[in-house]
A and B are shown apart, each in its own frame.
Chain A
Amino acid sequence: MNYTDWAMQELSSLPNTKSAYLYKQEVIAKMTERANALVDMGLKDNNVINELLKDEFKNIKDEYYDAQKLKQKKNRKKTLGKMSVLGIMGYTLLLVIFFLAVSFLSGAWSKTWLIMVAGVLLPIAAAMLVSATNIGGKKAVFNFASRFLMSSAIMLVCVVIFLVATFLTPMPSTWLIFLFAVALILAVDMAMAFAAKQKTAIITSLLYVPAIASIVYVICGLLHILPWHPGWIIIVLSVVADILIAGGGILRSAKVKEETDEQWEEN
Chain B
Amino acid sequence: MGRKLNAELWDKMHYLFRDFNDRMVHLELHYDFEIDLEKFKTVLICFLEKAPVLHSRFVDNHVSPYWEVMPYKIEDVLTVEHPDDIHKAIDGFLTQYIPPESDLQMKAALFYYEGKTALCMVENHMCMDGGDFKYFIKEFCKAYSDYDEKGISPMSLREGSRSYDSVYSDFSKTQEKMARNLYRNVCARDKHKFPLTESRKEDKSFIARRKISEDTFLKIKQVGKMHGATVNDMLVAAYFFALYELAGYGQDESVTISCAIDLRRHMKDDEGQGVTNHTAFMQCNIPKRGRDIFETLQYVINSSNRYKKDKFMGLYGLPLLKLGYRLLPHAASEEIIKIGYSNPLLAMSNIGILDHLALALSGNEPVDGFMTGAVKYKPYVLLSATSMRNEITMSMCVRGNDEDKRIVERFFDLFEESIKLLIS
Contact residues of A with B, CB < 8 Å? 37-38, 40-45, 47-48, 51-52, 55-56, 199, 256-257, 259-260, 263-264
- Of A40, A43, A56, A257, the contact of B42 (CB 8 Å cutoff): A43
CB-nearest residue of chain B relative to A43?
B45
The distance in angstroms between the C-alpha atoms of A259 and B173, with both chains bound, is 10
Contact residues of B with A, CB < 8 Å? 38, 41-42, 45-46, 49, 71-75, 147, 151, 153-155, 172, 174-175, 177-178, 181, 311
The distance in angstroms between the C-alpha atoms of A124 and B153, with both chains bound, is 60
Q: Are A45's CB and B42's CB within 8 A? A: yes
The distance in angstroms between the C-alpha atoms of A252 and B232, with both chains bound, is 39
Chain A hits for B75, CB < 8 A: 42
The residue among A37, A45, A56, A257 with the most chain B CB atoms within 10 A of its own CB is: A45
Chain A hits for B74, CB < 8 A: 41-43
Q: Are A256's CB and B174's CB within 8 A? A: yes
Chain B hits for A52, CB < 8 A: 46, 49, 153, 155
The distance in angstroms between the C-alpha atoms of A51 and B46, with both chains bound, is 10
CB-nearest residue of chain A relative to B49?
A52
The distance in angstroms between the C-alpha atoms of A45 and B46, with both chains bound, is 11
Q: Are A41's CB and B73's CB within 8 A? A: yes
CB-nearest residue of chain B relative to A264?
B311
Q: Are A263's CB and B154's CB within 8 A? A: no
CB-nearest residue of chain B relative to A261?
B311
- Of B71, B147, B151, B172, the contact of A41 (CB 8 Å cutoff): B71
The distance in angstroms between the C-alpha atoms of A182 and B237, with both chains bound, is 62
The distance in angstroms between the C-alpha atoms of A44 and B147, with both chains bound, is 14
Q: How far apart are A40's CB and chain B's nearest CB, in angstroms?
A: 7
CB-nearest residue of chain A relative to B72?
A41
Q: Are A256's CB and B153's CB within 8 A? A: no
Q: Are A199's CB and B153's CB within 8 A? A: no
- Of A41, A51, A55, A259, the contact of B174 (CB 8 Å cutoff): A259
Q: How far apart are A105's CB and chain B's nearest CB, in angstroms?
A: 57
The distance in angstroms between the C-alpha atoms of A257 and B178, with both chains bound, is 7
The distance in angstroms between the C-alpha atoms of A264 and B311, with both chains bound, is 8
Q: Are B45's CB and A41's CB within 8 A? A: yes
- Of B41, B147, B172, the contact of A263 (CB 8 Å cutoff): B172
A-B contact count (CB 8 A): 54
9 residue pairs from A and B, CB less than 8 Å apart? A41-B73, A42-B75, A43-B42, A44-B42, A45-B42, A51-B153, A256-B174, A260-B178, A260-B311
Q: Are B177's CB and A256's CB within 8 A? A: yes
Q: Are B174's CB and A48's CB within 8 A? A: no
The distance in angstroms between the C-alpha atoms of A199 and B49, with both chains bound, is 40
Q: How far apart are A199's CB and chain B's nearest CB, in angstroms?
A: 7
Known: A48-B46, A199-B181. A40 touches B155 (CB 8 A): no
Q: Are A263's CB and B45's CB within 8 A? A: no
CB-nearest residue of chain B relative to A48?
B153
- Of B41, B73, B175, the contact of A260 (CB 8 Å cutoff): B175
The distance in angstroms between the C-alpha atoms of A257 and B182, with both chains bound, is 12
Known: A48-B153, A51-B155, A52-B49. A42 touches B174 (CB 8 A): no
The distance in angstroms between the C-alpha atoms of A264 and B172, with both chains bound, is 9
Chain A hits for B181, CB < 8 A: 199
The distance in angstroms between the C-alpha atoms of A199 and B322, with both chains bound, is 14
CB-nearest residue of chain B relative to A42?
B74
CB-nearest residue of chain A relative to B39?
A45
The distance in angstroms between the C-alpha atoms of A40 and B74, with both chains bound, is 9
The distance in angstroms between the C-alpha atoms of A65 and B311, with both chains bound, is 45
Q: Are B174's CB and A38's CB within 8 A? A: no
Q: Are B153's CB and A263's CB within 8 A? A: no
CB-nearest residue of chain A relative to B154?
A48
Q: Are B73's CB and A42's CB within 8 A? A: yes
The distance in angstroms between the C-alpha atoms of A44 and B73, with both chains bound, is 12
Known: A44-B38, A52-B153. A260 touches B45 (CB 8 A): no
- Of A40, A48, A263, the contact of B73 (CB 8 Å cutoff): A40
Besides the contacts A41-B45, A41-B74, what 20 more A-B pairs have beta carbons closer than 8 Å? A40-B73, A41-B72, A42-B41, A42-B74, A43-B42, A43-B74, A44-B42, A45-B42, A47-B153, A48-B154, A51-B153, A52-B49, A52-B155, A256-B174, A256-B177, A260-B174, A260-B175, A260-B178, A263-B172, A263-B175
CB-nearest residue of chain A relative to B153?
A51
Known: A55-B155, A260-B175. A48 touches B42 (CB 8 A): yes
Q: How far apart are A257's CB and chain B's nearest CB, in angstroms?
A: 6
The distance in angstroms between the C-alpha atoms of A44 and B154, with both chains bound, is 13
Q: How far apart are B121's CB and chain A's nearest CB, in angstroms?
A: 17
Q: Are A40's CB and B45's CB within 8 A? A: no
Known: A42-B41, A51-B155, A52-B49. A263 touches B71 (CB 8 A): no
Q: How far apart are A264's CB and chain B's nearest CB, in angstroms?
A: 5
Chain B hits for A45, CB < 8 A: 42
The distance in angstroms between the C-alpha atoms of A51 and B146, with both chains bound, is 14
The distance in angstroms between the C-alpha atoms of A41 and B147, with both chains bound, is 19
Q: Are B45's CB and A38's CB within 8 A? A: yes
CB-nearest residue of chain A relative to B179?
A260
Chain A hits for B71, CB < 8 A: 37, 40-41
The distance in angstroms between the C-alpha atoms of A182 and B41, with both chains bound, is 67
Q: Are B45's CB and A42's CB within 8 A? A: yes
The distance in angstroms between the C-alpha atoms of A87 and B204, with both chains bound, is 72
Chain A hits for B154, CB < 8 A: 48
Q: How far apart are A37's CB and chain B's nearest CB, in angstroms?
A: 7
